[in-house]
A and B are shown apart, each in its own frame.
Chain A
Amino acid sequence: MITLNDASNDRNDDASRGQPIVTGDARELEWVRAVATGDRDAFERLYLLYHGRLARFLARHTAQRNLVDEIVNETLWVVWRTAGEFRGDSKVGTWIVSIAYRCLLKTMRDQLPTHRQTQPAGDEVSFEEVPSEQNEADQRELRDWVSHGLKLLPPEQRMTMELVYYFGQSYEEVATIMHCAVGTVKARMFHARLRLRNTLPRLGGESATNPRSAKG
């Protein structure tokens, strides 16, 4: 699982910089406070911590790598400019993902329909998947199945599912990010799960119980 509090992917960055490994919300909050005073070192740490996570998240919605970098930079640009306004009411990760979410929506609207395509156009650089090892065939199949299922979901349900499973956000945090009620988040998750159960039967198995019974 990749969560906002898991800094495992960024340990190499920290180690290469000769700095102690940084984990946890408190540390990120400390960086944001420093960024608010114009501390570029703190900003670079925050940038490197979130770049990969945001880029992978955004790459699920566009195949154009340049556009992904653009949205990531726009997100962190907003972070740089508004760090002083962050009151700490939510986790730093929720705040940053919320900004990225809005930047993504804005970019999608502005670029429609050019950049909503999933295939790269012209000389745009695309994300090319690294050939998996032969013994990772099962994982690759699972990944492809899940990716296929997610693409069949309505955008709101897909986004909700990704925020919960990719960023490890709670329902309340997703509601904050998507500017909707917690009940709406639960409903979107519920229907997304039902759809995925119907579109990905192989994941559920032949003996899967009908999830509609969960409605009680």
Chain B
Amino acid sequence: MIDQDLSHRSTWDLIPLVVNGSASEIERQHVDEHLRVCAGCRDEFAFQTQLHTGMALDSRPMRDPHAALQRLLRRIDEHADDMDDEGSVVDDVPSPDRSRRGMLRIAGRRAATSYRSGALIAAVVAQSIALAVLGALVLGRFDGGSRPSSANSDARYETLTRAAVPGTPATIRFVPAPTLTIGEMQTLLANAGLRIVESSLDNSIYALAPVSESTSADGSARATMAALARLRAGKGVLLAEPIASGADGSH
């Protein structure tokens, strides 16, 4: 009984496909076999055949399609001209026939598209390389070229949720003249090879350290004295003195 129902339902679904000719040979055979034993489906098959025939009976005359085709071809030409005006690469062929010209336009557009795509890819690659070089330089600067990359996590900035990282110990105390501008002070410190590591609340007293750290204590002391001498030689310096280091290196 179930098999009969399934056959009945599948035949019902397949009837339109047999009628419109899109059914496979196997499907057609299935329908034929079922129709031999099922009067209801035979009636449905006849009904659908009539429907199909009625839909195919269309006496409405169609206008000559060539006129509409010419309108569409003009639209295609206008579109191609617009593409040309926008700077697409199109060969200027003297008196080309329409088909040839159309093909050249398409080829030109595709060549231009291909060219633009290539240029875009090259630009992306160049930017990637530049970013990689810049990144390497930045990392090298902060790492001093000697620390392992894992030291990147010790970047010299602080966040409110992170414990303060001990900085480079200051070696020089510096009091600038009130008339010294920020630009002049920056120039002064740059010439002396020093940088600010601490300052008082009113920014009147600064603690300085050498830009480049020395690996030995003697070298560090010599660098500090040299930097101190260069600093003192500058204008606008009210006080410049070395900071005595404690036994534990603190000050």
A interface list, Cβ under 8 A from B? 1-3, 37-41, 44, 47-48, 51-52, 55-56, 59, 65, 69, 72-73, 76-77, 80, 127-130, 132, 139-140, 142-143, 145-147, 149-150, 161-162, 164-166, 168-171, 173, 186, 189-190, 193, 196-197, 200, 203-205, 207-211, 213-216
Please determine whether A197 and B47 come into contact, CB atoms closer than 8 angstroms.
Answer: yes
Q: How far is the CA of A55 from the CA of B60 in the complex (A)?
A: 10
- Show the binding face of B for A, using Cβ within 8 Å: 5-6, 8-9, 12-13, 16-17, 19-22, 39-41, 43-44, 46-48, 50-63, 65-66, 68-69, 71-73, 75-76, 98-99, 102-107
Chain B residues touching A, majority SS: helix
Contact of B9 among A37, A145, A169, A214 (CB under 8 A): A214
Closest to B80 in A: A38
A162 touching B55 in the complex, CB below 8 Å, given contacts A37-B106, A130-B61, A208-B47: yes
Q: Which residues of B contact A146 (CB under 8 A)?
A: 50-51, 54-55, 57
B1 to chain A, nearest CB (A): 10
B6 to A216, Cβ gap below 8 A? Answer: yes
In contact, B62 and A209 (Cβ under 8 angstroms): no
A190 to B44, CA, bound (A): 12
Contact A56 B62 (CB under 8 A): yes
Residue pair B65, A52 in contact (C-beta under 8 Å): yes
Question: Which one, A39, A129, A196, A215, contacts B51 given CB within 8 A?
Answer: A196
Q: Report Cα–Cα, A37/B104, bound state, in Å.
A: 9
B105 touches A38 (CB 8 A): yes
A201–B191 alpha-carbon span in the complex (Å): 105
Q: Among A56, A128, A214, A215, point to the contact of B58 (Cβ < 8 A).
A: A56
Contact of A142 among B8, B19, B22, B53 (CB under 8 A): B53
Name the B residues within 8 Å of A173 (CB-CB). Answer: 22
Interface of chain A, helix or strand or loop or mixed? helix
**B69 engages A48 (CB within 8 Å):** yes
User: Are the C-beta atoms of A143 and B105 separated by less than 8 Å?
Assistant: no
Residues of A close to B62: CB separation below 8 A: 51-52, 55-56
Cross-chain contact B50 with A203 (CB below 8 angstroms):
yes
- Chain B contacts for A186, CB-based, 8 A: 13
Contact of B102 among A38, A165, A189, A208 (CB under 8 A): A38
**Could you tell me if B40 and A143 are in contact, using CB atoms closer than 8 angstroms?**
no
20 more contacts with CB within 8 A, not counting A37-B106, A128-B60, A204-B43, are: A1-B56, A2-B56, A3-B21, A3-B22, A38-B102, A38-B106, A44-B73, A48-B65, A76-B72, A140-B57, A145-B54, A146-B51, A164-B16, A169-B22, A171-B13, A193-B16, A196-B51, A205-B43, A209-B39, A209-B40
Nearest CB of chain A from residue B107's CB, rounded to whole Å: 7
Tell me whether B47 and A203 are in contact (CB under 8 A).
Answer: yes
CB–CB B51/A203 < 8 A: yes
| Assembly CA distance A204 to B5 (angstroms) | 22
| 28 interchain pairs, CB-CB under 8 A | A2-B56, A3-B22, A37-B106, A38-B105, A38-B107, A39-B99, A39-B102, A47-B65, A51-B69, A56-B60, A56-B62, A59-B60, A128-B61, A130-B61, A142-B57, A143-B57, A143-B58, A149-B51, A165-B51, A165-B55, A169-B22, A196-B47, A204-B47, A205-B46, A208-B47, A209-B43, A210-B40, A211-B44
